[in-house]
Structure 1
Amino acid sequence: MNTVPVNTVPSNVDQQTLRKIFTSDLTETLIKVGLIAFLAYVCVRIFAPFANLVMLGVILAISIYPLYLWLVRKLGGKRGLSATVLVLALLLLLGVPLVILGSSFATQISDVHQQFEKGTFAIPAPDPKVAEWPVIGERLHTAWSEAASNLPAYLQKNAEIIRGYSRKALAVAAGAAGAVLLFLAAIAVAGIMMVYAEGGSRVTERILARLTTPERGASLLHLSVATVRSVATGVVGVAFIQALLLGMGFLLAGIPAAGVFAAITMLLGILQLPALIISLPAIGYLWWADTGSSNTMKIIFTIYFLIAGMADNVLKPLLLGRGVDAPMLVILIGAIGGMVTGGIIGLFVGAVLLAVAYTLFMEWVDSRRPEAVVPVTAADPAPREVAD
């Protein structure tokens, strides 16, 4: 049986003319691709300085949007007023403690750096009362005393190495101050985004529908929002609130390095470790060290540290909602990797973005295209599925 080639060239077109046509088409295609690539590069360069701010604003907006809708209903549907009230409340409840702790963190790191530079850094000798602590008192007092006496020689021997780490710590302190300002700005950006959330949601759904199908676009949008909300509030949000509670308590109780311990508490919370790891030693320090507090204040702070240290048991059921679909290992890798690449803000953004990426990827893995199912015929009585 004779067949006619699909791409048969008419006989009246010679090879030179055909070569010119192909060259012209190729040149035009390369120009278009080059212009698109240049436009994408310029857009990325313009957007890059605001990337962290916008991403954090989107995460905050999605996380607190249910609270915003509740406030809109209470204020008679006034969306702008509701967003303003919510932003001011967040700046007061979260922003003020965050600024105080961030300032404390930066000051403590800066003081340590200056002590290293001047060669005056030293570990104070332990109080004799430390030896009276139960179980670990004598051993801790001995180890502490040896460290205090041997530290000057160790610092002199490893001065350059320690000075390098000190400079890195100073950079972290400066980054923490910038992160606080960025977080406060992101709260304001989130307020603006919530006012126009409906239009933004429709645009995002149209984009996802164009990349996939209308049904899949709506499904992916819903899945992304649910994942962001569950991770940002149920994991990172709980750790953030608990760190603020304990950090302010440490600061008021006179616990040294309150800002540093607050940052450690937040990291432990994301790692799903109990905050009692930090609050219990703080209680011990409060009672056995001379902090200048009366016994009544010590009792009050002890109760507060215990409640704040176990607050995650109450916050998680309230904020986690339906649960987190992404494995905790993915969230941890995102948080740690984000912190390494983007500082403290990366701790938030990295955990959420990696969880969303994992969830969408697994949704794609588990989905099956309709065209992948082969119809049943008389010769093939059982349905067969073609592997994706």
Structure 2
Amino acid sequence: MRQKLENRSFLLLLLLVSIAFGLLLKPFWGAIFWAAAVAVIFYPLQNFFLRKFGNRRNLAALTTLLCCVLIVVMPVILIVQQVVSEAIGLYQAIQQGEITPGAYLDQIRAAFPVIPEFLDRIGVDTDNMRERLSNFAVTASRFLAQETLTVGQNTVGFVLSLCLMLYLSFFLLRDGHSLVELMVKALPLGDEREHRLFDKFAEVTRATVKGNILVAIVQGALGGIIFWILGLPAALLWGVLMAVLSLIPAVGAALVWGPAAIYLFAVGSWIPGTVLLLFGVLVIGLADNILRPILVGRDTKLPDYLVLFSTLGGIALMGINGFVLGPLVAALFLTFWDIFMIEFNDEQSSPY
């Protein structure tokens, strides 16, 4: 009886201490998650350097981390700097009246009268829409300026989080296998199940990060290039916005190039509008439809519809990290049920 009481008390304290430790690390969960993602993605490169350097783990991890900085971190920082510059220019143009969203809407209404007629039929007040669009542009530009100022003020915090992520990534690359084995020993789920869950975590994280980011880079680059060729302003800014929105499967980048094509048609630029429309549908759209199932759906072994809903749900609940965490939760959900069906229902196979 005393032994049971001691065991229950110990488990309760273990749970409380674990929760307290999790809350203690809460400010750094973003850095910890991306450090784990970096370690998972670059672990094959770490193994390559281990073979080259004769199993010198510190040197291999340091070299792998340097490759990560050169390939990923530095280009992202340079692009962000340029995007901030273009965003400030756009904000100033809106504030000075050089860009008037309400006038753009009037041009579209004049060029396509069927659109306001249809909206009026379904009860949408287009005059009120013009005022709302103008107010939204002012609010958005003010928000953009405030966020730019905030980014500048939080540079120290960003650099600190980046350094913490890289620092932790080094140890996860160097000691990742040992840490996984330690967690397998600690968790009371059964070693075989735990190895399977960790393998699924690595598989899905690697597929979603590499796949989604590669699709985002391709769509953003294609969108930015066509905007630049057609002479549209702030091409890099819109390209980056298309890259970010492309994390939303199926419709992401079209939220940028679609309205731009409509505007070109409205102002009588039929050739540029047609080029942008065809390029958006046949090139940018196909890049998403072809690459995402290959890079994300196939490697995660998730159906396309589940990738879509889990990504949207993840982004809605967890922000930008959700494009990885959403499919990861979905994959672990299916894995747990697969284990349950095999071990508890005597099922020998799963549809996933």
Q: Into which bin does the TM-score normalised by the smaller protein fall?
A: 0.5 to 0.7
Q: Could you tell me the TM-score, scaled by structure 2's length?
A: 0.64
> Deviation of residue 354 (structure 1)?
2.2
Q: 1:265: which partner in 2?
A: 243
Change in CA separation of 1:85 and 1:256 when aligned onto 2, cut-off 3 Å = same
Larger relative helix fraction = 2
Contact 1:338 1:348 in 2 (8 A): yes
Q: 2:202: which partner in 1?
A: 225
Read off the aligned partner of 1:98 and give its amino acid letter: V
Among residues 358, 361, 365, which one is paired with 2:336 in the alignment?
A: 361
> Deviation of residue 66 (structure 1)?
1.5
> Deviation of residue 341 (structure 1)?
4.4
Read off the aligned partner of 1:186 and give its amino acid letter: M
Read off the aligned partner of 1:214 and give its amino acid letter: D
How does 1:175-324 map onto structure 2 within 5 Å?
Answer: 182=161, 186-187=165-166, 189-207=168-186, 210-234=187-211, 236-242=212-218, 245-246=221-222, 249=225, 255-256=233-234, 258-268=236-246, 270-272=248-250, 323-324=299-300
> Deviation of residue 46 (structure 1)?
0.8
Q: Distance in 1 between matches of 2:297 and 2:228?
A: 33
Q: Does 1:335 align with 2:311?
A: yes
Show structure 2 runs of 5+ residues with no match.
Answer: 117-126, 268-278, 347-352
Read off the aligned partner of 2:181 and give its amino acid letter: R
How does 1:1-388 map onto structure 2 within 5 Å?
Answer: 35-36=13-14, 38-109=16-87, 122-123=100-101, 154=131, 159=135, 174=150, 182=161, 186-187=165-166, 189-207=168-186, 210-234=187-211, 236-242=212-218, 245-246=221-222, 249=225, 255-256=233-234, 258-268=236-246, 270-272=248-250, 323-344=299-320, 346-369=321-344
**Residue deviations 1:238-284, cap 9 Å, x none?**
22432564477579767515234323234325505696886799999
Change in CA separation of 1:248 and 1:163 when aligned onto 2, cut-off 3 Å = closer
Change in CA separation of 1:360 and 1:124 when aligned onto 2, cut-off 3 Å = same
Q: 2:121: which partner in 1?
A: none
Root mean square deviation of aligned Cα: 5.4
> Deviation of residue 55 (structure 1)?
1.2
Q: Could you tell me the TM-score, scaled by structure 1's length?
A: 0.59
Q: Distance in 1 between matches of 2:322 and 2:145?
A: 19
User: Would you say how many aligned residue pairs link Structure 1 and Structure 2?
Assistant: 323
Change in CA separation of 1:271 and 1:138 when aligned onto 2, cut-off 3 Å = same
Show structure 1 runs of 5+ residues with no match.
Answer: 1-21, 132-136, 144-149, 290-302, 374-388
> Deviation of residue 197 (structure 1)?
1.5
> Deviation of residue 169 (structure 1)?
5.2
Q: Distance in 2 between matches of 1:340 and 1:317?
A: 22
Q: Distance in 2 between matches of 1:47 and 1:349?
A: 20
> Deviation of residue 45 (structure 1)?
1.8
Read off the aligned partner of 2:341 and give its amino acid letter: D
Contact 1:338 1:350 in 2 (8 A): yes
Change in CA separation of 1:57 and 1:329 when aligned onto 2, cut-off 3 Å = farther
Change in CA separation of 1:166 and 1:248 when aligned onto 2, cut-off 3 Å = closer
Secondary structure of the residue aligned to 1:98 is: helix
**Residue deviations 1:275-314, cap 9 Å, x none?**
688679999999xx9xxxxxxxxxxxxx9xx988876689
Change in CA separation of 1:307 and 1:72 when aligned onto 2, cut-off 3 Å = farther
Change in CA separation of 1:324 and 1:45 when aligned onto 2, cut-off 3 Å = closer
